[in-house]
Structure 1
Amino acid sequence: MNQLDKRSLSRTQNLTLTAVVAALYAAVTMMVAPIGFGPVQLRLSEGLNHLAAWNKRYIVALSLGVLIANLVSPMGWIDWVFGTLDTVIMTALTYYLTRKVGSALMKIIISTISVLTVGMAILAAEFTFAFAINAAGSFPPDHAGSIWANWLSFYLMLVPGEFASLAVGGIVIYALSKFVDLAK
């Protein structure tokens, strides 16, 4: 096989893997749609965020999957823009923090910390902003208070469901990493 064929195959493989992961993210999110949106959510597809620790293509794949899934979000454009941007930021952070980490378990731990801290902080800010401007489909915090109290309230509501999704996804991705080279 000549060099041009190898490059073409590599591009095709990258595009295919990106599309498959984006579609999988969107499909799993829409399967659990009633509990996949809002401040108390169990978006099982979030477990796929760990993939960004292995290859930067998954930053695009997951962000595209989030955008597609969020097209049915009750918060509309706010979720399309900020939810997608949140995914770009937290998966890029995961990728850069784990580039030189060899252990699959450490990659998953770093990914989990990145998503639970940075990712959920941004999502809590998105919900706080949506509530503050009375956006259609926004959710009230569990109590009325200052903007910081509302942000903290949203953050604390988001973390348990996200942690559960990351734990399940972490187990699946860890097992998969033993049989498939996720970096390729």
Structure 2
Amino acid sequence: MRNNTVKVLTIQALIAAIYVVLTVAIAPFSYGAIQLRISESLSQLVVFSKKYWFPITLGVAIANIFSPLGIVDVFFGTLGTGLALAISVLVFKFVKNRIARHIVNIIIYLVVCMPIIAYEIAIFSGENSARVPFEFEAFTAIYGLLLLSQIVVMVIGIVITEALNKAIDLKKVFE
């Protein structure tokens, strides 16, 4: 039992670290209203096991420490990702087809996480990350840009995780 706990924690730490490295390595593109956060493709791992929820959420929290918005991004980004992935995990109890799960995960992410991030950016992206008045037009523009980038990285995530699943059974990684 103890060996399995150590194995699970080690794998989760590695996944969180991969998320952080993928985010910080391309930092100018990982933060802001226009972002192409390749690390978000790892969010498709929850399709295979709910045990991927924690390391991805932790990875977001750590990666967002390096964001220009700092602690604000740690809070909002972690909240958005954690909530979206938790809802996906709950919905997956009723969706057995893996491709359908991938699509559901993308939809939930776009509907739950991206509005939270768009709100954060719309409110806290003023000079020196100061709070600015909410403007619906700014929010919708940011949300639209985030939707486009998130769809791209999540589709890439499907390709990557499905290929990885052929090499390694992603359901059994934590066993």
Does residue 19 of structure 2 align to residue 18 of structure 1?
Answer: no
Q: Is the 8 A contact 1:127 1:138 kept in 2?
A: no
Task: Give the alignment's Cα RMSD to 1 decimal.
Answer: 2.1
**Offset at residue 18 of structure 1 (A):** 0.8
Give the number of aligned pairs.
172
Deviation at 1:71, TM superposition (A): 1.1
What's the secondary structure of 1:178's corresponding residue? helix
Aligned-partner Cα distance in 2 for 1:83–1:179: 31
Amino acid in the other structure paired with 1:57: K
Question: Over residues 89-126 of structure 1, what are the superposed CA-to-partner deviations in whole Å (9 max), with x where a residue is unaligned?
Answer: 01111111113433221121111111122111111111
Partners in 2 of 1:139 and 1:25 — Cα distance? 28
Letter in 2 for 1:149: E
Query: CA 1:12 to 1:44, structure 2 compared with 1: closer, same or farther past 3 Å?
Result: same
Residue of structure 2 equivalent to 1:38? 32
Aligned partners of 1:146, 1:28: CA distance in 2, in Å?
A: 31
Alignment of 1:180 onto 2:174: no
Residue from 136, 140, 146 that aligns with 1:152 = 140
Question: 2:158 is matched with which residue: 162, 170, 176?
Answer: 170
TM-score (norm 1): 0.85
Match among 66, 86, 110 for residue 72 of structure 1: 66
- TM-score normalised over the length of structure 2: 0.89
| Cα deviation 1:67-100 (Å, max 9, x = unaligned) | 1111110011110111111111011111111134
What are structure 1's unaligned runs of at least 5 residues? 1-6
Equivalent residue of 1:38, what SS?
Answer: coil
- Contact kept, 8 Å, 2:19 with 2:60, in 1: the verdict is yes
Q: CA deviation at 1:139?
A: 10
**1:61-140 equivalence runs, <5 A:** 61-131=55-125, 134=126, 136-137=128-129
Deviates more, 1:122-131 or 1:64-73: 122-131
Instruction: State the identity %.
Output: 31
Q: Flag the structure with larger Rg.
A: 1
How far apart are 1:35 and its partner, in Å? 0.5
